[in-house]
Structure 1
Amino acid sequence: MTPLIWALRLAGHDVLACCPPNLEHVLHNVGADTVPLATEFDPMALAGSLLPTGLLPVEVWGVADDERWRSTAPMLVERGLKTTAESLDLARTWRPDLVISDPLEIAGRIVAGHLGVPYVRHRWGIDPVTHVIDSLIDELLAEHVADLPQPVATTDVCPPSLQVPGIPTGLPLRYVPYNGAGPVPDWAMRRTAPRRLCVTMGTALPEFRGAQLLLQRILRAAAELADLEVVLAAKKIDSALLEEFGDLIVGAGQAPLTSLLGTCDAVVHHGGSGGTITTTRFGLPHVVTPQWGDQYACAQRIRGLGIGVALDTAALQRNQGAITDAVRTVIEDEAPRLAAKQLAEEAAAQPSPAEVVDQLVELAR
């Protein structure tokens, strides 16, 4: 949502972000005014507490299917109802003309209905969820809320070709990559080998011991290829890996992907929406190692479009040969590279956040 927040502010509109207290610093970093609501909410920490040491989520819980998504609906409704009262008190004072929230956030939709203002749903990327749980959430909320509003629009940062087939079309919104801001290290900008591979596992996954074992397999695969260097965009990396692959790794640590990918030939990532669509905007092929949630849908669409390789089972992520073949494919084969560049052109042609703000203003009026 960050580029949309920027576009709204630059067009002269007031923006107020309501969020759990543990997310306030993220929104402050992008220049948004915030109000903390309810208690802290950290689903990654919860997942980590339930995960046996040394295992990855894919090894324990398997693929997220429609039934798994439906099972989350009661939890989403319960959490949304917990924040509705204070959200509504705030909104009655602040008087928004428009409410925007993501597909799994319930309180904003209820508040919009109470105030009689338009509600806009903002997809975070590939969306295997909304069409599965919408009717169930409506049923659960009917006991608590009368005249629940439907979204007047659904902003969609995912290029149409990459989106889940068959779901309702959204309001196209160009994805402007934002992966945080910070110092850009020297290794991010300076390529020292003919080919470069970026490996990233997001902000939460590297904390799990199993992720470090998977990372070791990925580095072993990269070591099989000549004239290749690796950059690791990860907050946490085992020192033993840096020692074992010292000649292969030219840079490691937390860095914005936007400062890295312009020098890379391919990306290995876990299928998070940010990493997936940022890689797409740079026109690079993917190797995807999904672990939970919508990451499996990202992997399926990447495979389906031929823009990369999906290692979307525990068996594949344990298989050194499969990982090596996947890395070799995205580094050496022309077909996924050409397909990725074509998708990047489609993504770049989407309306800019500034253009979409004009459409949102009309909806608010």
Structure 2
Amino acid sequence: MRILFTTYPERTHFLLLAPLAWALRTAGHEVRVAVQPKFADVVTQAGLTAVPIGTDRDLWQYLGRLKEMAHAKKEWTEEWTGSKEVGWPTPYAAAEWEPEDVDWDYLRNGYELQIGQWHKQSNVPMISSLVEFAQSWRPDLVVWEPTTYAGAIAARACGAAHARLLIGADVYGITRDHYLRLGAERPKDDRADPMADWLGSYARKYGFEFGEELITGQFTIDMLPPSLRMRANLNYLPLRYTPYGGPAVVPKWLSTPPERTRVAITMGLTVTDRAVGYPVDVQDLFDALGDLDIEIVATIVEEEQRKLARIPDNIRPVPYVPLQALLASCSAVIHHAGVGTLATTALQGLPQLSLPWDVDQPALAERLAAQGAGLAVHAAKATGEAVRENLLRLLNEPSFVQGAARLREEFLAMPTPNELVPRLEELVAEHRGDG
């Protein structure tokens, strides 16, 4: 088969797609990854074949312009999220609400906002070029990042089967379920559907009719285990997360076992790649943890390290270290609850202290704590003292090690990328040409 992967240029999202692309390639299938030109090097560094498509447009650059227009982080946050709480932007915050609390106008207005401020910025630069390539190359399957709707459009335009590969909780599918449910209760002349109108215009352009699969795929690949996942009324395939952080070198000092209990601190790749700043006060954390009889390895970019007034003797700041290699020597991890970091930690069977800030991080952190594999403190409340108190609990209470072991078993029970390939082959045979 020919399989085409596509994502807008967000490195952390691509890193989640890469292991499945490798598995399909080693199974004998031809795999290509279609991305904006400036992102092609990220793909080739992973040993995959890149197809440059469209024009370069960075969603983060656009969001930066919004932030500058607002002149203040608080104002920008309220505009982007639709509320004073940092989290999923409108309308996707509704995915975490009870059905009776979800409002039609909130969803409709939220879709209109995000189509203009998010989805068009990510997709419009890619759509026409991606469709042209797909119609020429004729893939059997298109796998797309869940907001890269260009992938669904291209698949339908060339008759390929297609699937979303989730990058975390499926707030997009759940929100869409709410919208369809509430829409069915509206009068027929009052069922405005911004997503259907927008994607439907491309469907008509390329000779087919709008269908819900343009929003939620023919099927969805989910890397979260049962205790962490959030799902809609859709067809899901479980896939075990495979740790991959891109090209890396394991530092020599990691080959020596630590003399004291080692704890890792990481706030993820996105804040490093995009220089958006850490959601917690690093100096406050270091000061609060500096007198503990433990060794702390903190992945802090050099620019942020230079801002620190003090670095305690028990803390080793490093710009980057391969996470999987580091965690093999750790007893606990403090992190932002990004899905890649969380899953890598879970596969090591380590207790986790989550300091979530936005998107699905708070929801995942809450589920992680409920499962007993760790604790959670929202980044807005993550003072040094709060982090110290919760870290000591993780290190001293055996129940968290037991909970972490249970979570590890949940992850290990999911099929690996190689084990999923035969099922994907079956689904392609079922769906190719559908619609």
Q: TM-score range by the shorter chain?
A: 0.7 to 0.9
* 1:215 and 2:282 matched: yes
**Contact kept in structure 1, 2:34 and 2:53, CA below 8 Å:** yes
* Distance of aligned partners of 1:259 and 1:96 in 2 relative to their CA distance in 1, 3 Å threshold: same
The structure showing larger relative contact order (alpha-carbon pairs under 8 Å, at least 6 residues apart) is 1
* 1:339 and 2:355 matched: no
* 1:7 and 2:27 matched: no
- The aligned counterpart of 2:87 is 64
Question: Number of residues paired by the alignment?
Answer: 362
The residue type paired with residue 157 of structure 2 is H
TM-score normalised over the length of structure 1 = 0.88
Q: CA deviation at 1:37?
A: 2.5
Q: CA deviation at 1:204?
A: 3.2
In the aligned structure 2, how far is the partner of 1:68 from the partner of 1:239? 36
* Greater shift in the superposed pair: 4-13 or 21-30: 21-30
**Contact kept in structure 2, 1:9 and 1:15, CA below 8 Å:** yes
- The aligned counterpart of 1:27 is 43
User: Deviations for 1:127-163, whole angstroms, at most 9, x for unmatched residues?
Assistant: 3333214756335323442433523321111112111
Question: Tell me, which stretches of 5 or more residues in structure 1 are unaligned?
Answer: none
In the aligned structure 1, how far is the partner of 2:230 from the partner of 2:365? 11
Tell me the secondary structure at the aligned position of residue 67 of structure 1. Answer: coil
In the aligned structure 1, how far is the partner of 2:335 from the partner of 2:153? 35
The residue type paired with residue 295 of structure 1 is Q
- The aligned counterpart of 2:226 is 160
- The aligned counterpart of 1:326 is 390
**Contact kept in structure 2, 1:153 and 1:171, CA below 8 Å:** yes
The residue type paired with residue 311 of structure 1 is V
Q: CA deviation at 1:289?
A: 1.9
- The aligned counterpart of 1:103 is 146
* Distance of aligned partners of 1:62 and 1:187 in 2 relative to their CA distance in 1, 3 Å threshold: farther
* Distance of aligned partners of 1:209 and 1:36 in 2 relative to their CA distance in 1, 3 Å threshold: closer
In the aligned structure 2, how far is the partner of 1:63 from the partner of 1:280? 25
The residue type paired with residue 140 of structure 1 is W
> Percent of aligned pairs with the same residue?
29
* Greater shift in the superposed pair: 170-179 or 74-83: 74-83
**Contact kept in structure 1, 2:165 and 2:221, CA below 8 Å:** yes
In the aligned structure 2, how far is the partner of 1:57 from the partner of 1:344? 40
Q: CA deviation at 1:196?
A: 0.8
For residue 257 of structure 1, the aligned residue among 301, 323, 326 is: 323
Tell me the secondary structure at the aligned position of residue 139 of structure 2. Answer: coil
Q: CA deviation at 1:352?
A: 1.3
Q: CA deviation at 1:48?
A: 5.6
User: Deviations for 1:2-46, whole angstroms, at most 9, x for unmatched residues?
Assistant: 110110110111111111233222111111111222333444455
User: Deviations for 1:314-363, whole angstroms, at most 9, x for unmatched residues?
Assistant: 2x12x332222122222222222211111101101211111111111111
Q: CA deviation at 1:186?
A: 2.0
Greater CA radius of gyration, 1 or 2? 2
* Distance of aligned partners of 1:80 and 1:22 in 2 relative to their CA distance in 1, 3 Å threshold: same
Tell me the secondary structure at the aligned position of residue 318 of structure 2. Answer: strand
